[in-house]
């Protein structure tokens, strides 16, 4: 029987949907419900990782410490995890997160920059944390190159490597090719994970394709709560996992209750596949750029889709949010009469 490890990212990737302003008491309530529902891990922190609160990435309504401690105070069985992005989060941030109750961490870098994660991965392993590598923008990296960067992270101490479809751009055949490449590059005991987004309505299908190809850990979120059109929604993923006979510890009805009763009421804008979010997937643009692109388009009288396509053409990646306004201004110049 196929065993899957289900990690909920509602309290980390979901922060993007709320501009990183989820109240501490809501974090505690959602974490408690997820723990009761039997997920394997619960991820908490700023959407851009610990230490991400800034004008560039979004100022938090609380601190990573407060959010993590709130979750740690109610979680009884699940692993409590977070994300760190080198260049944003520091070694000191990893230490602080561990002291607040984190037992697992993911080091997130571009899919072509596995070497950037070495210092953070090695430090996390020395602390005894369950440690994963997280390869973002995986659609933009060919499978073999992705495998080589995964191997670098494995050598630095990563026990699992995640294929992160940051733009919701991958298709099931793309996912299968990348899982196959990682399986060939990595040791048999190193796990593989999938982090899918819903921008092209493929997040659940991509997650299932990854598991069928040999992935073990699956990211998902209550009501799909995440950047862009959201992450893989945990409720339908678990429903299909049940139909497929996958072995896991999650309770479908409890997850449905948590999604409808706790998370959907928080969503000020519906998370859905629409003209803007599907354009993110089509253009291969980082899902967390959506709110920034919408703001720039509104400010300068542009169509958000045009801004998104221009971002894709320039190949902007996470960490370059401050350039979105520059892209919008360039579009304005092009459209001005000579």
Q: Is the dihedral of CA 179, 203, 244, 191 positive or negative?
A: positive
Residue 51 CA to residue 276 CA, distance in Å, equals: 28
16 is catalytic: yes
Residue 230 CA to residue 10 CA, distance in Å, equals: 9
Helix/strand/coil for 89: strand
How many CB atoms sit inside 10 A of residue 171's CB? 16
Residue 79 CA to residue 76 CA, distance in Å, equals: 9
* Partners of 161 in beta bridges: 133, 192
- The distance between the two most distant Cα atoms of the chain, rounded to a whole number of Å, is 66
Question: For 13, which DSSP code?
Answer: G
Catalytic, out of 16, 20, 120, 292: 16
Residue 61 CA to residue 70 CA, distance in Å, equals: 14
Question: For 77, which DSSP code?
Answer: S
Catalytic residues: 16
């Amino acid at each position: 029987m196929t065993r899957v490890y289900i990690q909920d990212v509602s309290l980390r990737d979901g922060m993007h949907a709320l501009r990183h302003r989820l109240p501490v008491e809501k974090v505690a309530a959602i974490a408690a419900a997820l723990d009761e529902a039997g997920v394997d891990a619960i991820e908490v922190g700023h959407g851009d990782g610990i230490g991400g609160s800034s004008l560039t990435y979004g100022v938090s309504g609380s601190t990573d410490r407060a959010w993590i401690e709130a979750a740690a105070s109610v979680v009884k069985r699940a692993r409590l995890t977070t994300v760190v992005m080198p260049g944003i989060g520091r070694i000191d941030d990893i230490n602080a997160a561990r002291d607040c109750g984190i037992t697992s961490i993911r080091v997130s870098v571009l899919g072509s920059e596995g070497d950037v994660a070495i210092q953070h991965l090695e430090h996390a392993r020395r602390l005894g944390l369950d440690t994963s590598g997280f390869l973002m923008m995986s659609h933009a990296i060919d499978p073999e190159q992705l495998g080589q960067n995964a191997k670098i992270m494995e050598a630095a101490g990563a026990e699992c490597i995640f294929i992160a479809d940051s733009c919701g751009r991958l298709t099931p055949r793309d996912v299968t090719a990348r899982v196959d490449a990682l399986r060939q590059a990595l040791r048999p005991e190193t796990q593989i994970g999938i982090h899918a987004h819903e921008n092209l309505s493929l997040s659940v299908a991509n997650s299932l394709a990854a598991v069928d190809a040999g992935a073990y850990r699956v990211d998902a979120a209550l009501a799909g709560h995440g950047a862009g059109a959201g992450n893989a929604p945990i409720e339908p993923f678990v429903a299909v996992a049940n139909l497929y006979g996958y072995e896991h510890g999650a309770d479908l009805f409890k997850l449905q209750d948590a999604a409808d009763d706790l998370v959907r009421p928080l969503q000020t804008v519906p998370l859905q596949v629409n003209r803007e979010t599907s354009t993110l997937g089509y253009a291969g643009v980082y899902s967390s750029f959506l709110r920034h692109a919408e703001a720039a388009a509104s400010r300068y009288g542009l169509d958000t889709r045009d801004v998104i396509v221009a971002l894709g053409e320039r190949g902007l990646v996470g960490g370059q949010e401050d350039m979105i306004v520059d892209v919008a201004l360039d579009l304005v110049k092009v459209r001005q009469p000579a």
